A and B are shown apart, each in its own frame.
Chain A
């Protein structure tokens, strides 16, 4: 039965593992909740990737771009 005997060291190790597990779960929950709050506040949710996104181009620029077409 020697192999099954639990050394005191295992208790300390378990406390560390459980503690870190809880901390990581809390961090995930926190980032998720933060995302929900930030999105609801209307913060910018997308950024430029490799090319400009239409949804991110300022309205004035679009109007200016559209104007020559109207003239033609």
Chain B
């Protein structure tokens, strides 16, 4: 007898569900910054080697995304924003995501080692470990500083790209790291100010809730001040130039101004205009990072100092 109902218990995922486990939107940032890091690095890299390097860095980033979705499946089921992810929606089982994450991590690290060099591969392995274990498992549910330290995972890709081309770390790659690292807190907390406090309800401590919104405003402004010297300092290195410098000065001035406006506002003012300034600064933060890296890319094409 045919028993078609037997199938309905097992989740049968489509191909796209596995792609969704790799967080394609996060991957696009990884691809862009890793590409810039690789492209502006000194030395010739064969275009196909460069392509493969970026591909496996992105795959490593995707693998850590799958590991993150496996570990966070309990809180993803609570928050509105993440309920439609493959695991909480019941299309993929948690163990499948874990398996996919581990297998893709190994493949991406081994392939990056064979394509580029083993230093870059070890760096990628460390980044996956940092995001999946240090951030997701340890810091995320423990401290409201989670995104500050976790931001390092997002800041490593340009350093890995640079390491693919040069086999090492230099002041330029460290400054590219600092640019993303110190950009993450103001970017995220500006979002946290106008976003619903979903995260906190799900058990992820957020600065806006644990220390209050005025504290978050002070932190945003402080980080925009810390960020500026690193962003402008990058312009003084071998990868900088007049164009990058002009872009960095304008964007940092605008970002500090935004941070100052956020600091000066009271909660009442913010609620009155529907968090207009906070939304504007969040939007600016997206352009901030994109334009800095774009400027580095264009500067390397037209030649630097």
Instruction: Give the B-binding residues of A (Cβ under 8 A).
Output: 2-3, 7, 9, 12-13, 15-16, 18-20, 30, 33-34, 37, 41
Contact = CB atoms under 8 A, between A and B. Distances in A.
Contacts of A18: 15
Contacts of A16: 12-15, 18
Interface stretch (B45-53, B80-88, B125-133, B276-284): B45-53
Contacts of A41: 46
Contacts of B7: 7, 9
Of all A-B residue pairs in the complex, the 9 with the closest CB atoms, nearest first, are A19-B15, A15-B14, A12-B14, A15-B15, A12-B12, A9-B12, A16-B15, A37-B48, A9-B7
Contact of A2 (B2, B18, B52, B114): B2
B105 to A, nearest CB: 16
Contact of B48 (A12, A15, A20, A34): A34
Q: Is the interface of B mostly helix, strand, loop or mixed?
A: helix
A3 B2 CA distance: 7
Nearest to A8: B12
Nearest to A11: B14
Contacts of B14: 12, 15-16
A18 B115 CA distance: 27
Contacts of B114: 34
B4 interface: yes
B108 to A, nearest CB: 12
22 contacts: A2-B2, A3-B2, A7-B4, A7-B7, A12-B14, A13-B12, A15-B15, A15-B16, A16-B12, A16-B13, A16-B14, A16-B15, A16-B18, A19-B15, A19-B16, A19-B18, A20-B15, A30-B52, A33-B48, A34-B114, A37-B48, A37-B49
